Amino acid sequence: MVTTDKRKKAPRRGARGTAKAAPRTGAKAAAPAPSPAAETEHLNLAQAEAAASAADGGGFVELGLSDVVMHAIKDAGYALPTPIQRQAIPLALNGRDLMGLAQTGTGKTAGFSIPIIERLLDGPHRTRALILTPTRELCQQVEEAFRKYGKYAGLTVVSVYGGVGYDIQVNALRDGVDVVVATPGRLIDHLEKQNVSFDDLEVLVLDEADRMLDMGFAPQIQRIVATIPPYRQTLLFSATMPPEVEALARKYLRKPVVVQVGRRSSAATTVQHYVYPVPKQRKAELLAELLKQKEMDSVLVFTRTKQGADRVVRHLESVGIEADALHADKSQSQRESALLRFKEGKTRVLVATDIAQRGLDISGISHVINYDVPQQAEDYVHRIGRTGRAAQTGDAYTFMCADEIAMVKTIERTINQEIPRRSVVGYDFGT
């Protein structure tokens, strides 16, 4: 669904602070060559924490934000920025290109949406910011963040993705919006039909860049960037930094500052991990057995295939456990309905393919269960990042059949920790 805000007449209250975005120079001038990796600046967590501790309280108020944005942050119930926000926001406000690296659930979305809103205050009503995301779910999450933090800013935002009506998006884009949040494929369609122009674009965000490359969006990203003024601010955010993402950053960012929270490919420290050995044919039974535990009140289950997700849901329903499936074969309305029921606690179990490993901003997920061991170690990090978010704790269970042992060991090497084994009597494939 695409929605746009009516442009508000909220007053621009308060001083903007000293940290302002760098002014744009000629949009049509040739872009300077992207810097080599050696010129990339790194800002680690220790430096950021030391700078924050020198400030009084280290809260959002110390970041030089306007009253308009601070009012919205306060309404959202936030007082202290997360480490990635504390590092990224001042740099983005100063107009720097940056690469933000942090685990899922650490607040990367606010880390770029807040400074962009700040930059667009009092400016012309044109499309000045573009955020590219890999999935429609993440697209919706980013749009929601802009609405939440920009509720008093009088800005308009539209999300553009596949699976919904095309004409609604056309009308919204042609009417003109301040911020476009889009998936690459659908945005290419609109560019080809000249439904949107980025001649005045000032900020480009590549969100979840590693996932976009995993999904094969590199050619689409290149086509989109070719339509954008070369003199712009570019922000790249990612949970991991494989060589492909580093190459992407080298191509599109100018002398970026790297802000990093946590070790690359590290799992969230707020999550407890366990592996359950179980024969492949008994995984569904073990899942139903574990779901009898009272503490498992909000459970996200990952399967490898869409058919597998549907089979798990059918099995759970056959034993009296209500569950919903979330995968690419579901319509947009079905996916939104399943997510809403899960968020509201009407459905205790959501069974999903890796479409849900990124972009789900759902608080209070108590357990993530890898029904199938992910085929990429990095995917394990993203999956379990759905629980233990925002400093809460959570549990991650992985069902391991005999032919998945090697992949579990690869995951353990990647996250640099051994995952404890748990056996349930009668289910362990060694019994």
Give yes or no: residues 228 and 301 share one domain: no
Q: What is the mean pLDDT of residues 332-350?
A: 87
Q: Give the chain's mean pLDDT.
A: 81
Identify the residue with better confidence: 159 or 210: 159
Give yes or no: residues 168 and 231 share one domain: yes
Domain containing 404 equals 271-415
Q: What is the mean pLDDT of residues 209-216?
A: 83
CA pair distance 212, 266, nearest whole angstrom: 20
Give yes or no: residues 398 and 276 share one domain: yes
CA pair distance 204, 197, nearest whole angstrom: 14
CA pair distance 144, 339, nearest whole angstrom: 15
Give yes or no: residues 233 and 277 share one domain: no
Q: What is the mean pLDDT of residues 350-356?
A: 79
What percent of the residues of the chain are helix, what percent strand, and what percent coil, each to the nearest 5? 40, 15, 45
Q: CB-based contacts of 281: which residues, under 8 Å, 6+ apart?
A: none
Q: Which of 260, 295, 326 is the last residue of a domain?
A: 260
pLDDT tens for residues 58-85?
Answer: 488 888 899 999 999 999 888 889 888 9
Instruction: Determine the distance from the C-alpha atom of residue 332 to the mean position of all C-alpha atoms in its chain, rounded to a whole number.
Output: 19
**Considering its fold, how many domains does the chain have in total?**
2
Q: What is the mean pLDDT of residues 85-89?
A: 91
CA pair distance 60, 74, nearest whole angstrom: 9
CA pair distance 309, 302, nearest whole angstrom: 8
Is the torsion defined by CA of 56, 50, 234, 388 positive or negative? negative
pLDDT tens for residues 407-428?
Answer: 999 988 888 889 999 988 888 8
Q: What is the mean pLDDT of residues 29-58?
A: 41
Q: Which of 232, 260, 288 is the last residue of a domain?
A: 260
Q: What single letter denotes the amino acid at residue 126? A: R
Q: Tell me, what's the pLDDT at 31?
A: 39
Q: Is 184 helix (H, G, I), strand (E, B) or coil?
A: helix
Give yes or no: residues 171 and 125 share one domain: yes
Give yes or no: residues 355 and 390 share one domain: yes
Which residue, among 430, 426, 424, has the nearest Cα to 402 in the 3D structure?
A: 430
Q: Tell me, what's the pLDDT at 260?
A: 81
Give yes or no: residues 202 and 278 share one domain: no
Instruction: Determine the distance from the C-alpha atom of residue 414 to the mean position of all C-alpha atoms in its chain, rounded to a whole number.
Output: 21
Q: Tell me, what's the pLDDT at 137?
A: 84
Going by the DSSP 8-state scheme, the letter that residue 301 receives in this structure is E
Give yes or no: residues 152 and 301 share one domain: no
Give yes or no: residues 237 and 282 share one domain: no
Please check whether residue 22 is in contact with residue 94, taking contact to mean a CB–CB distance below 8 angstroms: yes
pLDDT tens for residues 266-320?
Answer: 455 567 889 999 999 999 999 999 998 888 888 999 999 999 999 999 999 999 9
Q: 37-40: long-range contacts (C-beta < 8 A, 24 or more apart)?
A: 37/246, 37/250, 39/255, 40/99, 40/255, 40/256, 40/257, 40/258
Q: What is the mean pLDDT of residues 363-380?
A: 85
Q: CB-based contacts of 134: which residues, under 8 Å, 6+ apart?
A: 183, 207, 208, 211, 212, 214, 215, 217, 358, 359
pTM of the model: 0.61
Q: What single letter denotes the amino acid at residue 420? A: P
Say which CATH number the domain at 244 has.
Answer: 3.40.50.300
Give yes or no: residues 282 and 324 share one domain: yes
Q: Is 80 helix (H, G, I), strand (E, B) or coil?
A: coil
Q: Is residue 135 part of a domain?
A: yes
Q: Is residue 306 part of a domain?
A: yes
